[in-house]
Amino acid sequence: MKIAFFSLRKFDELELAAEYGKKYGIDFVWTGEYPNKENLKLAQGCDAVSIVPCEFTDEYIDILSKYGVKYILARSIGYDHIPIDYAKEKGFKISSVTYPPECVANYAIMLMLMAARKIKQIMLRANCQDYSLRGKMGKEISDCTIGIIGTGNIGSCVIKHLSGFGAKILAYNKFGENPEIKQYAEYTDLETLYKNSDIISLHVASNKETYHMINDDSISKMKDGVIIINTARGTLIDSASLIKAIKTGKISAAGLDVIENESGLYYYNRSCDVLDNNELAVLSSFPNVVVTPHTAFYTETTVRNMVEKTFQSLWNYQNNMSNPYDVK
């Protein structure tokens, strides 16, 4: 069996790929480039391709099918960048990976603290030697009601870790309540969560139902001065609605590790480019908005998990074993 890795990072993933390729007896080839029509030829003779979130079109699926590739291995939890229905129609199997939820959960809490304590403004002004206090007063998250939307692995971890801060926690989960979480949080409907939360953190998947779930209507139901945290997917938030609400003060602050139109930005070096992304430019300009480039996942433990489970998925396929990472 053989994998063609695309956008494999030499500085952190390559050594792990060599380690796990040897462990599972699977060969691989690689490129640091994102997949495109020209470099997909790397996959000739391979059983699978491994990709991170990137542009991945129906045309790419057709090309890979002609090369005899049978498996698409998403080196990420999310797989919304893959045209799932078309890929399955073409006979592909698809898998994603899992990793310990602490990395994203703790990052989300960090963003809550940064937003609530106005850290961006404090640091910007300190860089200009403005050490005055006016306008820097924050709020204690211990005194806040924090709403967590989505209590899967990451959302549940956020709630458990937040419980140590003493905050009141509300939770909403479309797919039912987690009995373990009830000792830390009160489950409620979305309307109640919107109405009563000082901070709202998103931990749901990107799909048709969650697309722009944060919009003019949902924001209108929230407390004045609410803080929004998003470490999930940028498409959960209507950017225009978010920007408008920040300008009016309805939303007092935001911590965003993802934005709606980040494709083509993250994870490229665009340091000398003129970016055609008004959303990022406006949000980054606000002193009360922290924008980070989709790095909540990025820890040593997570990267190791992502690479190993890529090999595990193909090994399970090779040995006719069920694979818990398959996209159903």
Instruction: Respond yes or no: is residue 233 known to be catalytic.
Output: yes
**Axis crossing angle, helix 300-318 with helix 14-24, rounded to the nearest 10:** 30
| pLDDT above 90: residue 264 | no
Quote the pLDDT of residue 80.
85
Residue 175: partners with Cβ closer than 8 Å, 6 or more residues away:
none
Count of residues in the chain = 328
Quote the pLDDT of residue 44.
97
Catalytic entry in 294, 300, 304, 308:
294
What is the three-class DSSP state of 277? Answer: coil
Residue that is written with structure tokens 């002609």 in the block: 66
- Domain map (residue ranges) of the chain: 2-99+299-318, 102-291
Catalytic entry in 75, 203, 233, 308:
233
What proportion of the chain, given as a percentage, has pLDDT over 90?
Answer: 93
Tokens of 90: 């073409």
What's the distance, Cα to Cα, between the start and end of the chain in Å?
22
CATH number among 1.10.10.10, 3.40.50.800, 2.120.10.70, 3.40.50.720, domain 102-291: 3.40.50.720
Task: Supply the mean pLDDT for the chain.
Answer: 96
Instruction: Respond yes or no: is residue 294 known to be catalytic.
Output: yes
Has domain 2-99+299-318 been given CATH number 3.40.50.720? yes
- 127-139 pLDDT, tens digit per residue, is 999 999 999 999 9
| pLDDT above 90: residue 82 | yes
- 11-36 pLDDT, tens digit per residue, is 999 999 999 999 999 999 999 999 99
Catalytic entry in 13, 260, 262, 308:
262
